[in-house]
Amino acid sequence: MSAARPNMAGHRASTNAPHSTATRAYRCNLRIKQTFERFLDLCFHISLMTTYLLRRIAYMLPILLGVNLLVFALFFLVNSPDDMARQALGDKAANPEQIARWKEALGYHLPRLYNREESGLRCFTQTIFFQKSLSMFWGDFGNSDMNREPLGREIRKRIIPSLCLTLPIFLASLLCNIAAALYLAANRGSNLDRMAQIGCVLLMSVSTLIYIIAGQFLLGKQLRLLPVSGFLPGLSMLRFLLLPILVGVLSNFGGGVRFYRTLFLEEINRDYVRSARAKGLSENRVLFVHVLKNALIPILTNVPIQLLMLIMGNLLLENFFGIPGLGGYTINAVAAQDFAAVKAMVFLGALLFMLGTVLADICYALVDPRIRLK
Amino acid sequence: MTDFFQGWPAKNLATGILLLVLFLLALRLSRRAYWREAFREIRRRRGSMFCLAVLCVYLLIALLDSFGWCSPMRHPESGELMRHAQSQKILYDQGASALDRLLQPLRHKQEKTYSAPLATKQFFSETELDADGVPRRVQPALLYPRQHLFGTDRVGVDVLYQCLKSVRTGMIIGLLTTLLALPFAMLFGVCAGYYGGVVDDLIQYVYTVLSSIPTVLFVAAFMIIFGQGLAQLCLAMGIASWTSLCRLLRAETMRLRESDFVQAAISMGSSGRKIIMRHILPNVLHIILITAMLRFSSEVLAEAALTYLGIGVGADTMSWGAMINDARSELTRDPVIWWKLCAALLFMLGLVLPANIFGDAVRDALDPKLRQ
C-alpha cells in the first residue's frame, strides 16, 4: 500500500535504487504530508457537509412558518372561533353565553392577531395566533378540545406505536420492491417480466381497503393465524403488527416494483454499463454493483414521496387494526370535531415530512459528492 | 343559492360546460399532427382501445347520471296532473337523472332485506306462524326472484343499482380534481419556469409549503372545517395535488425556455405572454394529459379510502368507498355476506384497471423520451 502511494501521487521515487537516508527521509516527509492533506480534505468535507446541513435546516424554517400560517388561516380565519364553538356544541344547542363559555375554557376568546387591551410584547403574545399556532414551533401543542388533555403527551405516547408500524413497512417495502425490480430488470423482456408487469398493474388497481379486508378475513378470521386487530405494548406487539405490516408492504408492492424497474432499465442503457460489460464483468456484477449503486440517487429522491404515501396508508392501517398511533388518533379527532388535535397533526405531519426530506437529502449528499458542492 | 345549485338546471349546465370543454380540447388536439400520430399509436394496440371503450362506458353512465329533469306530479290513481291549490301551477317532483329513469325497474324492485345474487329466497330465515299457529323457521320467497344480479343489501336495495349510481362519484373525483388543479398548476408552473427570479422563488415557496402537508391530513383539516361532501373533497384534493403537476411544468418550461425556438422568438421581440401561449403551452400539453391520466386511478382509489375514514364524500352520496365500508361489518356475520363488497370491488377494478392500462398507453405514445 505505502509503496504504491507515491507512484499514484505522481512522484517518481526510483524503487530500484538502494534505500539511501535521503530517500527514506523524503518518503517519511511525503507520508506526513499526505496524512495532513487527507486530514485537511476530511475537515473540508465535514465543513461542507455541515454547512450543507445547516443550510438545509435553515431552509426548513420558512417552510414550516408557511405551514403554520396556512394552518392558522384555515382554522382561525376561514373558520372563526365562533363557528368552531357552534360546531363543537351543536348548532341548535348553542346560545351566545354557551359559546362564550366554550371559548373561554379553551382559550379561543383572545383576539386573533393583535391584542389591543394588552401592552408591550403582550399585544402579540396574548393572541390566538401566538398561543395556538406559533407555539407549535417550540413543541407546545396545546390541549385537546375534547378532553382538555395536553396534546404533547398524547403525541409522545402514540408516536412509538406509529413508528413501530411505519418504519418496518417502509424498510421492508423498499427492500422487497428493489429486490423484485432488480430481478425483473435482470430478466427483462422475458415472459416472467411481462407477466409481472401485468401483475403489478393489477396490484396497483386494487384499493388498499381490499388488501386490509382480505388480510383480516383470510389470515385473521378463516385461518386464525394472526389477531384481526388490537395492540399490546412490549414484545407482544409483534404478533399484532405482523398483519398490518404485511398488508402495508403488499399494498406498496405493485407501484413500487414498477417504478424501480423503470429506474433500473433507464440506468442499464447508460454508457458506463456498456463499458463494464466490455471490461468482461459478469452480468450479475454489473447489475448488482454498478447499476444498483448508481440507481441509488433516484431511489433516494423517491424516499420523501414514499414517506407521504406511508402517512396515508398508516391512517387506514391504524384505523382498521386498532393500533393506538397518530393516524388513528387523527381520524378520531376529525370524527369528534377536535380542532386543536387536527391542527396539531397537520403541523406535525408537515414537520415529519420535512425531516424525512432532510434525511433523504443528507443520504443523497453522502452518496453523490457532486451535490454538496452546488 | 344552495337551492339553485342543488337543482337540475345548474347540474345540467355544469355537465354541459364540462363536456363542451373536453370536446373543444379534443377537437383542437386532433388538428395537430403530433397528437394524431400519438392517437394512431394508441389505436394500434388492441388492449388499450378496449380499455378506452370500457372507460367510455363508465363516462356514459356518469353523464347519464348527471343529466336530469323534473317531471310533473300525477295523481297516483286517476293519473291527472296535480296542481297547486291556489295558483293552479303544475307541481313538479324532485326530479331524477336520466340514469335513474333508465334504471326505474331496478330502483323499484326492493326486497325486505339481504338476498344473495340471483337468489329466489331471502338470505336469512324468518320465524313465521303456520296454519296451526306453530312458529316455524322459513326462508321467505323474494318479491323479485332471480332479478338481482348482485343481490340486495340490508334494507333490500339492489346492489347493482348502488354500484351504477356510484360510478358518477368516482368519475367526478377522478376528473374534476385534476381539472380543478389544472389552471393553477399551468399558470404558476409555466410562469415560474419562464420568468424565473423572484416569481419563481415565490411560487416555489408556495408549492413547497403546500406539498409538505401530507394530502390526507390536509383533506382531514379541510373536511373538519367545511364538512363532508363531494364538492369539498374535490376541492381539497385539487388544492393538495396541483403542486406535483406545477413542479413538473416548471421544470419542463425551464428546459423549453433554453431551446432554440423559444430563444429565437425572444430575439425576434415576442412578448412573454405570446411566447407562453404560442410556444410553451402546446409543448407541455402532453405532460398535463399524461399526469391527468395517471392520476385518475389513484384519485378514485383515494376517494374510497377517504370515505371509509370519514373524511370523504359523506353519507348522502353513494360511492364505492361507502359500500365497502358498509360491507366490512357484514363480513363478520355468519354466514358471510360477500356480494356487496365484491360488487363494489369489481366495479372499482373495472374503472381503475382500464384507466391504469390506458394511462400507460397514453404515456408511451406521448412521452418524447419513450417514443423513439
B54 contact A CB<8A? no
Output the pLDDT for position B314. Answer: 78
Chain B residues inside the 8 Å CB shell of A207: 301, 304-305, 324, 345, 348, 352
> A206: how many CB neighbours lie within 10 A of its CB?
19
- A positions 52-111 inside 8 Å of B (CB): 62-63, 66-67, 70-71, 74-75, 78-79
Residue A151 inside a domain? The answer is no
Tell me what the mean pLDDT of segment B200-227 comes to: 89
Higher pLDDT, A208 or B78: A208
Given the C-alpha cell 331524477, which residue does it identify?
A: B96
A335 contact B CB<8A? yes
pLDDT at residue A4 is higher than 50: no
Find the CB nearest A207 among B215, B305, B328: B305
Specify the amino acid at residue A42: L
Helix (H) or strand (E) segment spanning residue A291: none
Output the pLDDT for position A16. Answer: 53
Which grid coordinates belong to A170? Answer: 417502509
Q: Which domain holds residue A105?
A: 81-132
Residues A128 and A163 in one domain: no
Find the CB nearest A342 among B208, B220, B321: B220
B294 contact A CB<8A? no
Q: How far away is chain B from the Cα of A366, in angstroms, using its nearest Cα?
A: 23
Give me the number of domains chain A comprises: 2
Residue A225 inside a domain? The answer is yes
Q: How far away is chain A from the Cα of B346, in angstroms, using its nearest Cα?
A: 10
Write out the E strands in chain A: none
pLDDT at residue A374 is higher than 60: no
pLDDT at residue A310 is higher than 80: no
Helix (H) or strand (E) segment spanning residue B273: helix B272-275
Q: How many CB pairs under 8 A join A and B?
A: 119
**B53-70 residue pLDDT tens:** 999 999 999 999 888 887
- Residues B262, B280: contact at Cβ < 8 Å? yes
Tell me what the mean pLDDT of segment A173-190 comes to: 90
Output the pLDDT for position B13. Answer: 87
**Nearest residue on chain A to B351, judged by CA atoms?**
A205
Higher pLDDT, B361 or A98: B361
**B283-307 residue pLDDT tens:** 888 888 888 888 898 899 988 888 8
Residues A97 and A229 in one domain: no
Average pLDDT, chain A: 81
B47 contact A CB<8A? no
Output the pLDDT for position B52. Answer: 92
Which grid coordinates belong to A289? Answer: 454493483
End-to-end Cα distance, chain A: 33
Question: Minimal CA–CA distance to A349: which of B223, B211, B306?
Answer: B211
**Nearest residue on chain B to A356, judged by CA atoms?**
B212
Tell me what the mean pLDDT of segment B141-156 comes to: 79
Question: Among A78-87, A146-155, A204-213, A242-251, where is mean pLDDT lowest?
Answer: A78-87
Tell me what the mean pLDDT of segment B247-274 comes to: 91
Chain B residues inside the 8 Å CB shell of A315: 216, 309
Residues A126 and A261 in one domain: no
Output the pLDDT for position A93. Answer: 66
Find the CB nearest A334 among B206, B214, B220: B220
- Residues of B79-98 as b/e, b for ≥16 C-beta within 10 angstroms? eeeeeeeeeeeeeeeeebbe
Q: How far away is chain B from the Cα of A239, in angstroms, using its nearest Cα?
A: 21
Q: Read off the pTM.
A: 0.83
Output the pLDDT for position A155. Answer: 85
Residues A355 and A224 in one domain: yes
End-to-end Cα distance, chain B: 53
Residues A268 and A349 in one domain: yes
Given the C-alpha cell 325497474, which residue does it identify?
A: B105
Q: How far away is chain A from the Cα of B369, in angstroms, using its nearest Cα?
A: 11
Question: Minimal CA–CA distance to B228: which of A87, A92, A115, A36?
Answer: A87
Residues A178 and A118 in one domain: no
Find the CB nearest B214 among A70, A308, A331: A308
Strands B135-138 and B68-69: unpaired
Percent of chain A with pLDDT over 90: 11
B315 contact A CB<8A? no
Find the CB nearest B213 among A67, A330, A357: A67
Residues A96 and A195 in one domain: no
Helix B8-30 vs helix B33-44: crossing angle, to nearest 10: 100
**Nearest residue on chain B to A72, judged by CA atoms?**
B221
Residue A357 binned pLDDT confidence (cut-offs 50, 70, 90): confident
Residue A271 inside a domain? The answer is yes
Residue A152 inside a domain? The answer is no
- A positions 112-171 inside 8 Å of B (CB): none
Residues A317 and A177 in one domain: yes
Residue A3 inside a domain? The answer is no
Radius of gyration, alpha carbons of chain B: 26
Chain B residues inside the 8 Å CB shell of A221: 331-332
Residue A148 inside a domain? The answer is no
Q: Which of A91, A144, A209 to mutate to test the interface with B (most CBs of B within 10 A)?
A: A209
A258 contact B CB<8A? no
**Nearest residue on chain A to B314, judged by CA atoms?**
A335
Find the CB nearest A353 among B212, B331, B348: B212
pLDDT at residue A6 is higher than 60: no
Question: Minimal CA–CA distance to A346: which of B265, B61, B213?
Answer: B213
CA atoms within 13 A of residue B272's CA, in its CB half-sphere: 8
Residue A307 binned pLDDT confidence (cut-offs 50, 70, 90): confident
**B118-130 residue pLDDT tens:** 777 777 777 778 7
- Residues of A266-277 as b/e, b for ≥16 C-beta within 10 angstroms? ebbeeeebeebe
Higher pLDDT, A155 or A192: A192
Residues A232 and A103 in one domain: no
Q: Do B304 and A209 touch (CB under 8 A)?
A: yes
Q: Do A353 and B209 touch (CB under 8 A)?
A: no
Q: Do B308 and A209 touch (CB under 8 A)?
A: yes
A44 contact B CB<8A? no
Chain B residues inside the 8 Å CB shell of A145: none
Which grid coordinates belong to A25? Answer: 527521509
Chain A residues inside the 8 Å CB shell of B348: 207
- Residues of B293-316 as b/e, b for ≥16 C-beta within 10 angstroms? bbbbbbbbbbbbbbbbbbbbbbee
Residues A233 and A93 in one domain: no
CA atoms within 13 A of residue A114's CA, in its CB half-sphere: 2
Write out the E strands in chain B: 68-69, 96-97, 126-129, 135-138
SS (HEC) of B140-175: CECCCCCCCCCCECCCCCEHHHHHHHHHHHHHHHHH
Rounded Cα distance between B347 and B327, Å, is: 14
CA atoms within 13 A of residue A197's CA, in its CB half-sphere: 16
Q: How far away is chain B from the Cα of A58, in angstroms, using its nearest Cα?
A: 14
- Residues B215, A308: contact at Cβ < 8 Å? yes
Question: Minimal CA–CA distance to A81: which of A154, A149, A131?
Answer: A131
Which grid coordinates belong to A200? Answer: 403489478
Rounded Cα distance between B115 and B147, Å, is: 11
Higher pLDDT, B346 or B10: B346
Which grid coordinates belong to B268? Answer: 425576434
Question: Among A4-18, A264-278, B192-206, B231-245, where is mean pLDDT lowest?
Answer: A4-18
**Nearest residue on chain A to B346, judged by CA atoms?**
A206
Helix A303-321 vs helix A151-186: crossing angle, to nearest 10: 120
Tell me what the mean pLDDT of segment A333-337 comes to: 84
Chain B residues inside the 8 Å CB shell of A75: 221, 225
Specify the amino acid at residue B251: A
Chain B residues inside the 8 Å CB shell of A356: none
Residue B262 binned pLDDT confidence (cut-offs 50, 70, 90): very high
- Residues A26, A33: contact at Cβ < 8 Å? no
Q: How far away is chain A from the Cα of B33, in angstroms, using its nearest Cα?
A: 28
Residues A202 and A349 in one domain: yes
Chain B residues inside the 8 Å CB shell of A330: 217, 220
pLDDT at residue A328 is higher than 90: no
**Nearest residue on chain A to B358, judged by CA atoms?**
A201
Residue A33 inside a domain? The answer is no
Three-state secondary structure call for residue B109: coil
Instruction: Write the CATH number for A337.
Output: 1.10.3720.10
Average pLDDT, chain B: 84
Output the pLDDT for position B264. Answer: 93
Residue A18 binned pLDDT confidence (cut-offs 50, 70, 90): low
Residues A321 and A280 in one domain: yes
Rounded Cα distance between B55 and B53, Å, is: 5
Helix B46-66 vs helix B8-30: crossing angle, to nearest 10: 150
pLDDT at residue A203 is higher than 70: yes
Rounded Cα distance between A85 and A104, Å, is: 10
Q: How far away is chain B from the Cα of A35, in angstroms, using its nearest Cα?
A: 44
